[in-house]
Amino acid sequence: MAASVTRAHLAVDKAECQGAGLCHALAPELFRLDPQGFGEAVVSDLDDPDDIEAADSVVGGCPAAAVLLTYLD
């Protein structure tokens, strides 16, 4: 992650999510599991550097590559 990133958009691609639950296990402050066990972002607009770093770590760990993090600046 670039050190100058101060805002990012977080999402889970429901079509790609396999329900492994790793996103919630790694960052429960950013992800929850829906009633079917699929991940979803608790908050989509991130501006806290710690949250952005945590989300970035989850992106690399998602076995389905379903976690999407878009840097806004």
Q: Please, what are the domains in the chain?
A: 8-71 (3.30.70.20)
- At residue 5, the pLDDT reads 79
Q: How many CB atoms lie within 10 A of CB 4?
A: 7
The 10s digit of each residue's pLDDT in 41-61 is 999 999 999 999 999 999 999
Q: What angle is formed at CA 10 by the lines to CA 4 and CA 14, rounded to 5 degrees?
A: 155
3: pLDDT strictly greater than 70: no
- The answer to whether the CB of 66 falls within 8 A of the CB of 13 is yes
pLDDT in tens, 10-32: 999 999 999 999 999 999 999 99
Beta bridge partners of 51: none
Position 40 confidence tier, pLDDT thresholds 50, 70, 90: very high
